[in-house]
Amino acid sequence: MPSFNRQPSSGPSTPSPPHSPLRSPRYRRSKTGRSFPGQPPGPKTPAQRIAWLFISVIVRRQGIFLFAPLIYITCMLMYMGTVSIEDVQKVKQHKPAPGSVYRSPQLYEKLRPEMDADNSSADAISTIWKKSYKGGIWKPCVKKSTQGLADSNGYIYIEANGGLNQQRTSICNAVAVAGYLNATLLIPNFHFHSIWRDPSKFSDIYDEEFFIEALKHDVRVVDQIPQYLMERFDHNMTNVYNFKIKAWSSIQYYKDHVLPKLLEEKVIRISPFANRLSFDAPPAVQRLRCLANYEALRFASPILTLGENLVAKMKALSANNSGRYISVHLRFEEDMVAFSCCVYDGGKEEKQDMDIAREKGWKGKFTKRGRVIRPGAIRINGKCPLTPLEVGLMLRGMGFDKSTSIYLASGKIYNSEKNMAPLFEMFPLLQTKEMLASAEELDPYRNYSSRMAAIDYTEILVRWTLSDNTT
C-alpha cells in the first residue's frame, strides 16, 4: 500500500493519490465466483452463462474475428431459406451459346402443321435431271495408257482400314503410289476392325480380275508375291518391313523415303493405309486415282446384280414421278455419332451408349488424360452428323414434297425407332434395302457390314449410270 508523507514541509502538503487499478473492479471476478464491490451479479443458469460468455467474447477485439465467419454463414443460411431451389439452379446454369444445342425436334414441331398443309405443286424431282452446263453431255476425263511398263522396283502391300469408303480411298491411293514409284501392287487387304467386324476380302466385294485387267497398262497388280521373295520372310507378311506413314503425306515423301527402302527390300508393307496420301498431288498421280475409282473398281457380280434389282424395284415404286427418285445416304450410325462426340436429345441413355461405343471402338482415345471434349463447340463448328430429322428438313426445304420417292442408303441408324420416325412422316414413300429385298436375298450379306454398304453404293451407282437412258 502506498504511504502518505506525514512530516510537515515548508509548503502545504497533500496526500498522494493511489495508483489506478489495471482493470475496473466491475469486470473482475474472484476465483470463488464472488464479485468485487460494485460488480453486477453474474448469470445463474447454464443458458445465461453461455450467452454471457458469447457476449463477452464478442466485445473483445480478438473475438470478433473468430465469430465473423460464423455470423456470415448464419446470415447466408437464413437468406437461402427464402430462395427456392429452382432459383438457385437458374443462377448456376449459364445460357448456352446460339447453335450449341440440338433443337431440331422443337423446330420440326413448329413447322410440321405448315408442312402437312403444303399442297404446292413443286416439281423439284424433275429439276435435278436438267443439265445446267453448256456442254450438255458428260464426258470421261480419265485417259488410259497404252504404253508398256518399265521393270518393277518391288512389291507394295497395303492394309486398308476403316469402312467401305475409307477402304475404297485406300485402294485408289495405293494404285497412285504404286504407279508413281513404278512398283507392283499386291491386291490390298482389308483390316478387321472392332466396329465393323467384317472379315471380307477384296474379291468378296470387288471384281478382282477386272481390277487387274483395267490397270494393266498403268500399274502392275498381282494377287500374290513370288515365293522366292517370301522365303526371306518365312512366308509371313508380318515379317515384312512395315512403314508407319503419317496421314496426308505428300507423294514426294514416298519418293524420298519409301522408294529407297523398296529398292533395298523389294517387298514393303504399309499398315494402316487410310488417308496416307495428300489431296494436292500432281496431275499424273490424280489420274491414277481417278482411273482406279471410276474405271477399275467394279463390285463383284452378286452385289452388282442385287443392286440392279433394287433399282428396278425403286423405279416401279416411283411411277408417279416417271420412275425418278433420289438416293440419300445417312451417316447416323452408332459409331459415327460416338466418334463425333456430339450431344443430341437422348439424355443419360444416349451418353451411356456413346461412352460404351467409344471405348469399344477406340479404347482410351476419348478418355486419355488431358482430352477435353466440348460438344457445344463441335456443333457450332458444323461437325455434328445430321440426324434423319435434319436430313428430312433439308430435303423439304429444297422443294421435295411427300410424294417424292427416296432410297435410303445407310447402315443401322442409331436408335432408329425414334430417329427415323420423323423422316418417314415427311417422306412416306421412303424405302431401304431391307424393305425392297427379301430376307433370302440379304442373308448372305447380313453379317458383313462392308458388303451391305456395297449394296447401297451399287444401287446409287447403277441408278445414276442408267439415268440418262431411262429418264
**How many Cα neighbours within 13 Å face the side chain of 72?**
6
pLDDT of residue 28: 47
Amino acid at 191: H
Integer Cα distance of 411 and 455 in angstroms: 11
The pLDDT of residue 410: 87
Asked whether the beta carbons of 414 and 334 are under 8 A apart, the reply is: yes
- Set of cell numbers at residue 56: 463477452
What does residue 16 show for φ and ψ, rounded to 5 degrees? Answer: -75, 135
Q: Give the pLDDT of residue 67.
A: 61
Residue pLDDT, tens place only, 353-403? 999 999 988 888 999 988 899 999 999 999 999 999 999 999 999 889 999
Residue with cell 433439308: 394
Report residue 447 as a C-alpha cell: 453379317
Torsion of the alpha carbons at 430, 298, 467 and 312, rounded to the nearest 10? -50
Q: Domain limits of the chain?
A: 155-295, 301-461
- In DSSP notation, 287-332 reads HHHHHIIIII--B-HHHHHHHHHHHHHHHHHTGGGTT--EEEE---
Q: Which positions of the chain have pLDDT values less than 70?
A: 1-44, 54-68, 70, 77-94, 119-122, 129-141, 193-196, 460-471
- Rounded to whole angstroms, the Cα distance separating 320 from 324 reads 8
CA nearest neighbour of 432 among 411, 407, 414:
407
Q: What is the pLDDT of residues 264-311, one digit of tens each?
A: 999 999 999 989 999 999 999 999 999 999 999 999 999 999 999 999
CB 297 within 8 A of CB 457: no
Contacts of 455 by beta carbon, 8 Å cutoff, 6+ apart: 303, 306, 307, 310, 433, 445
pTM, rounded to two decimals: 0.73
**Nine-digit cell string for 463:** 441408278
Q: Which three cell numbers stand for residue 262?
A: 523398296
pLDDT at residue 411, as a whole number:
86
